[in-house]
Amino acid sequence: MKKLNIAIIGCGFMGRTHSNAYRRVSNFFDLEYKPVLKAICDRNEEKAKGFANQWDYESVETDWKKMLERDDIDIIDICTPNNLHAEIAIAAAEAGKMIVCEKPLAMNAAQGQTMVDAVEKAGVANLVSYNYRRIPAVTLAKNLIDQGKLGKIYHYRANFLQDWTISTDLPQGGDGLWRLDVKESGSGVTGDLLAHCIDTAIWLNGPIKEVTAMTETFVKERQSVTSGKVEPVKIDDACAFLARFANGSLAVFESTRYARGHKALYTFEINGEHASIAWDLHDLHRLSWFDHRDEGITRGWRSIHVTDGEHPYMDKWWVPGLQIGYEHSFVHQVADFLEGLAKSTPVSPTFRDALETQKVCDAVLDSAKSGQWVKI
Ligand code: SOE
């Protein structure tokens, strides 16, 4: 196995999911490359040292620019708040590093375009972390659709519901809470949660042509962790939009952080001429399937326990019937990326693929402002 040296920037939740993926991938997948946790970077030195200790990183940096100067780093993995993605990715591309970037690609599509230009000019491998594609039940949905089993698709429906920002006492900015500060996040649920739904939707059902949206900011002011002052909240707390796909199907998308009782309820349902598919992140190892071609007397919704060796990725794990979970989607993502490197083929979603999602997010936010349908 050839060693591939990884440097992650950011020790938050995503820094952990990515570290775990690089650590475990070679134990389960037969690959040409073996990731080595070479360096971890965070502005907060104590935090970076603690993280390095826990995950066994060989070195610590507090300035990400130092990582780019190092010859012993092959992949820069960006797990920072969204406002840093572009600057780091462009500099990393210019330094000739391969790049993995957390979603959403950028603060907006114009910025995303500069990132696409940079990686394509430098010719470096690149990937955006839309991990839900690589949950076996979701990949199975993709395979069934690509085999034409649903026939013509009429409807796409997706939700991503949370409830963690309902308290008016929650401040904005800083660790974890940067998602509430528009200067660091670019948007609220649209870029954070709907971006996942849009990425999956485009992957499963093709391009989105136009959207009409509404957004709401329920809590108008929050204390800023950075300034200490009460400042206006400029993100979308909730967003709902309608969309038309290029294949003629109609879609409804909804996301909020104010759905009391829901922590991370990502669901989608697709209705085709012959069959329908439904999936739910809280039951992620199952795919619901209804096939109108089944014999009438036993026709009904089936719940497929996606744990068989024939199911996507599952032959790499345990034995049929035993489940895997959320963190494995990141392991699959790294496995696919490393396989792409071995074959010198781009692995989706590349920066260019993720730019499509970013364009839809921009159109959704524009439509919510103008009250008009917006074409992508
Ligand atoms: C927000 O709570 C969040 O952590 C997102 O940032 C992730 O992308 C999503 O997968 C889970 O929720």
Distance CA 199, CA 270 (A): 15
pLDDT band of residue 146 (cuts 50, 70, 90) is very high
Phi–psi pair at 95, nearest 5 degrees: -85, 0
Nearest atom in ligand 1 to the alpha carbon of residue 131 is 10
Q: How far is the CA of 172 from the centre of ligand 1 (A)?
A: 16
Minimal-distance CA residue to ligand 1 atom 6: 192
Nearest atom in ligand 1 to the alpha carbon of residue 103 is 8
In total, the chain counts a number of residues equal to: 376
pLDDT of residue 201: 99
Q: Rounded to two decimals, what is the model's pTM?
A: 0.98
Residue list, ligand 1 pocket, CB within 6 Å: 13, 162, 192, 196, 264
Distance CA 47, CA 65 (A): 18
Minimal-distance CA residue to ligand 1 atom 1: 192
Minimal-distance CA residue to ligand 1 atom 5: 192
CATH fold of 133-375: Dihydrodipicolinate Reductase; domain 2 (3.30.360)
pLDDT in tens, 20-32: 999 999 999 999 9
| Residue from 193, 199, 236 to probe ligand 1 pocket by mutation (most atoms less than 8 Å from CB) | 193
Contact predicate 140/311, CB 8 Å: yes
pLDDT in tens, 60-112: 999 999 999 999 999 999 999 999 999 999 999 999 999 999 999 999 999 99
pLDDT in tens, 165-175: 999 999 999 88
Phi–psi pair at 375, nearest 5 degrees: -85, 145
Q: How far is the CA of 342 from the centre of ligand 1 (A)?
A: 30
Q: In what order do the strands lie in the sheet with 286-291?
A: 302-305, 286-291, 275-280, 265-272, 153-161, 250-256, 238-245, 208-216, 374-375
pLDDT of residue 282: 96
Q: Is the pLDDT of residue 176 over 90?
A: no
Quote the percentage of the chain above a pLDDT of 90. Answer: 99
User: Tell me: domain 2-130, CATH 3.40.50.720, correct?
Assistant: yes
Nearest atom in ligand 1 to the alpha carbon of residue 164 is 2
Nearest atom in ligand 1 to the alpha carbon of residue 13 is 4
Q: How far is the CA of 193 from the centre of ligand 1 (A)?
A: 6
User: Average pLDDT over the chain, rounded to whole?
Assistant: 98
Domain boundaries, the chain: 2-130, 133-375
Q: How far is the CA of 192 from the centre of ligand 1 (A)?
A: 6
pLDDT band of residue 127 (cuts 50, 70, 90) is very high
pLDDT in tens, 249-294: 999 999 999 999 999 999 999 999 999 999 999 999 999 999 999 9
Q: How far is the CA of 357 from the centre of ligand 1 (A)?
A: 16
Minimal-distance CA residue to ligand 1 atom 10: 193
Q: How far is the CA of 264 from the centre of ligand 1 (A)?
A: 8
| CB within 8 Å of 111: residues ≥ 6 apart | 86
Q: Is the pLDDT of residue 57 over 90?
A: yes
Average pLDDT over residues 142-167: 98
Q: How far is the CA of 162 from the centre of ligand 1 (A)?
A: 9
Average pLDDT over residues 148-155: 98
pLDDT in tens, 306-359: 999 999 999 999 999 999 999 999 999 999 999 999 999 999 999 999 999 999
For the chain, the first-to-last Cα distance in angstroms comes to 43
Q: How far is the CA of 194 from the centre of ligand 1 (A)?
A: 10
